[in-house]
């Protein structure tokens, strides 16, 4: 089967794309106060896919008001069990709409339909179901006191875990639905209310999710979805004086802006930012697994992953073999439109991203790096870039130090395992790392020494709603997923009663 045209997609998807999409505020679909809209593009052709209401400060104000009212009203009064049931239902509704989500995600972001169907959508559904269970388990402690200046008094002291309140969530375009789920799931489980701003490049799946949020029966104003641009809608949300917490995923540069914007009312901030993750192959690794593993660590999602294994360190005696293997893999990847069933890698998300990645390729070439595979954009329409393996790099090159966020890996040999850890840690980021070896002790010793929030051993890109994910160093603050994420959305109240 070849490329599917828009006319052939699921009719529900076609009709979703036909109408200008509105924003969700206080349980209603509404136009922007300004009446403005913006286009979202199909990155495999560069053509307009749909038009979307363009929210800005005025819409953010309305959405925050609705979220505040819901937080202080029905949502706060609902039992944890009722809340959990709604969140579970949302997960099930996503499962019931897998095809629509997979098409929207593929068309809006460019990723292969097969991947969206097998990974993005089911992971989002599972995330909601995992978080649904936490709604009834947010327990405090009882705490025995020994107050020295009231020696004969008795106290009953305990802690309560309460929701932080109205939460602003700003998400990126690389996993549009999944990032919405990572953010919404824990916020709803803890009893917060939300204003979500999806990325300008990929607003469609969040808006589809909004329809299911209404269908599931969440009270009005609990989730508000305001598409728009970062500099306007995003900045207004981050700075809003009635938002209690902001959760952000995206670039480190914008992460810094968010931190500054949050100072007005000292709102809480959690950040999931960039990465330049080391992936280490020792000579004793099972190379039949390590080579495809290293390739998929960088090429999955076209390298547009914050945790992409973009610095490949290979022990010298197997360096040539591993580089050749990863380069062969790169050359065989079928690059094409996401809807083509043969496609293994789609276009990058936007012209801007294609230009950004290509400027890194040019900088690498100018500084003396050689391409063992790829090295260029793909000519013709759409924002395609060849899967690329760079060798002959030096530690100070931009391609080695900076996040490229495209299908580009730099492969570097090492001889002495003792010098490896400082090299692997020689980066401002600390999001993830990979280790490939048959020596269990070596793997765990190294996992201990690597400064990263996630370390994968003999695997890569394994995600589960129960496994916390987040960064050391400039890769972020706080964790997504697992029970750790609940800390982002709760605050502790200590209650002390003399009895």
Q: Which residues would be at the binding site for ligand NDP (CB under 6 A)? A: 170-174, 197, 199-200, 229-231, 234-235, 238, 249-251, 254, 257-258, 272-274, 306, 356, 403, 405
| 306-330 residues labelled b (16+ CB within 10 A) or e (exposed) | bbbbbbbbbbeebbeebbebbbebb
Maximal C-alpha separation, the chain: 83
Smallest separation, CB 401 to ligand NDP (Å): 13
Compare residues 172 and 337 and give the one whose CB is closer to ligand NDP.
172
Smallest separation, CB 366 to ligand NDP (Å): 20
Q: Does 231 participate in catalysis according to the annotation?
A: no
Compare residues 66 and 236 and give the one whose CB is closer to ligand NDP.
236
Compare residues 32 and 287 and give the one whose CB is closer to ligand NDP.
32
Compare residues 129 and 240 and give the one whose CB is closer to ligand NDP.
240
Compare residues 87 and 177 and give the one whose CB is closer to ligand NDP.
177
Point out the catalytic residue in the list 54, 100, 200, 272.
272
Compare residues 100 and 272 and give the one whose CB is closer to ligand NDP.
272
Smallest separation, CB 236 to ligand NDP (Å): 8
Q: Which two tokens stand for residue 443?
A: 């793997």
Smallest separation, CB 342 to ligand NDP (Å): 27
Residue nearest to ligand NDP (CB): 230
Which residue, 116, 94, 117, 113, is CA-closest to 185? 94
Q: Which two tokens stand for residue 213?
A: 């949020």
DSSP-H helix ranges across 240-309: 252-261, 287-299
Burial of 30: CB neighbours in 10 Å, binned 0-12, 13-18, 19+: middle
Q: Which two tokens stand for residue 210?
A: 């909004």
Smallest separation, CB 273 to ligand NDP (Å): 5
Euclidean distance between CA atoms 74 and 85, whole angstroms: 15
3-state secondary structure of 342: coil
Q: How far is CA 487 from CA 32, 290, 492, in A?
A: 33, 35, 9
Euclidean distance between CA atoms 60 and 195, whole angstroms: 8
Smallest separation, CB 431 to ligand NDP (Å): 8
Euclidean distance between CA atoms 61 and 69, whole angstroms: 12
Compare residues 172 and 278 and give the one whose CB is closer to ligand NDP.
172
The dihedrals phi and psi of 281, each to the nearest 5 degrees, come to -115, 115
Task: Return the residue matching tokens 């360096």.
Answer: 319
Point out the catalytic residue in the list 54, 126, 220, 306.
306
Smallest separation, CB 436 to ligand NDP (Å): 24
Smallest separation, CB 13 to ligand NDP (Å): 22
Q: Does 272 participate in catalysis according to the annotation?
A: yes
The dihedrals phi and psi of 73, each to the nearest 5 degrees, come to -110, -125
**In this structure, are strands 47-53 and 155-163 parallel, antiparallel, or unpaired?**
unpaired
Task: Return the residue matching tokens 């939460």.
Answer: 167
**In this structure, are strands 193-197 and 223-225 parallel, antiparallel, or unpaired?**
parallel
Task: Return the residue matching tokens 């609990």.
Answer: 222
Task: Return the residue matching tokens 């999806």.
Answer: 198
Euclidean distance between CA atoms 446 and 457, whole angstroms: 10
Smallest separation, CB 86 to ligand NDP (Å): 26
Euclidean distance between CA atoms 322 and 318, whole angstroms: 6
| 449 contact partners, CB below 8 Å, separation of at least 6 | 421, 425
Compare residues 293 and 453 and give the one whose CB is closer to ligand NDP.
453
3-state secondary structure of 330: helix
Helix (H) / strand (E) element for 271: namely: strand 268-272
The residues carrying an active-site annotation are 272, 306
């Amino acid at each position: 089967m070849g490329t599917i045209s828009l006319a052939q997609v699921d009719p529900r998807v076609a009709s979703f794309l036909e109408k200008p999409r509105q924003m969700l505020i206080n349980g209603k679909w509404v136009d922007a106060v300004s009446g403005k809209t913006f286009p979202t593009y199909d990155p495999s052709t560069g053509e307009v896919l749909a038009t979307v209401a363009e929210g800005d400060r005025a819409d953010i104000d309305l959405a925050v008001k609705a979220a505040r009212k819901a937080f202080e009203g029905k949502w706060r009064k609902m039992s944890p069990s009722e809340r959990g049931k709604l969140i579970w239902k949302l997960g099930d509704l996503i499962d019931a709409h897998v095809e629509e989500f997979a098409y929207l995600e593929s068309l809006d972001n460019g990723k292969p339909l097969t991947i969206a169907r097998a990974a993005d959508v089911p992971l989002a559904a599972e995330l909601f179901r995992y978080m649904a269970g936490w709604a009834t388990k947010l327990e405090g402690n009882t705490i025995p006191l020994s107050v020295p200046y009231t020696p004969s008094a008795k106290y009953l002291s305990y802690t309560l875990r309460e929701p932080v309140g109205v939460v602003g969530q700003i998400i990126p375009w690389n996993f549009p639905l999944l990032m919405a789920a990572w953010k919404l799931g824990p916020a709803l489980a803890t009893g917060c209310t939300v204003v979500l701003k999806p990325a300008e490049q990929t607003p469609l799946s969040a808006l589809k999710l909004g329809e299911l949020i209404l269908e599931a029966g969440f009270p009005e104003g609990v989730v508000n979805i305001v598409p728009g641009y970062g500099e306007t809608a995003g900045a207004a949300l981050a700075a809003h004086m009635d938002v209690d917490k902001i959760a952000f995923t995206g670039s480190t540069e914008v992460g810094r802006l968010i931190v500054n914007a949050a100072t007005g009312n000292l709102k809480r901030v959690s950040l999931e930012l960039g990465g330049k993750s080391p992936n280490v192959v020792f000579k004793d690794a099972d190379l039949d697994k390590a080579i495809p593993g290293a390739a998929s660590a960088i090429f999955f999602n076209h390298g547009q992953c914050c945790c992409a294994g973009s610095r490949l360190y290979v022990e010298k005696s197997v360096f040539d073999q591993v580089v050749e293997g990863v380069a062969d893999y790169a050359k065989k990847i079928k690059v094409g439109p996401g809807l083509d069933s043969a496609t293994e890698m789609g276009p990058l998300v936007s012209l801007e991203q294609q230009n950004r990645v290509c400027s890194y390729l040019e900088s690498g070439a100018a500084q003396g790096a050689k391409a063992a595979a790829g090295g260029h954009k793909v000519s013709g329409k759409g924002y395609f870039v060849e899967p690329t393996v760079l060798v002959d790099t030096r530690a100070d090159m931009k391609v080695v130090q900076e996040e490229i966020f495209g299908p580009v890996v730099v492969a570097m040999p090492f001889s002495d395992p003792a010098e490896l850890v400082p090299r692997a840690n020689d980066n401002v980021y600390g999001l993830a790392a990979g280790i490939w070896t048959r020596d269990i002790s070596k793997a765990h010793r190294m996992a201990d020494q690597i400064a990263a929030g996630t370390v994968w051993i003999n695997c890569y890109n394994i995600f589960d709603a129960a496994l916390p994910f987040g960064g050391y160093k400039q890769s972020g603050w706080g964790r997504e997923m697992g029970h750790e994420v609940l800390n982002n959305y709760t605050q502790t109240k200590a209650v002390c009663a003399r009895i």
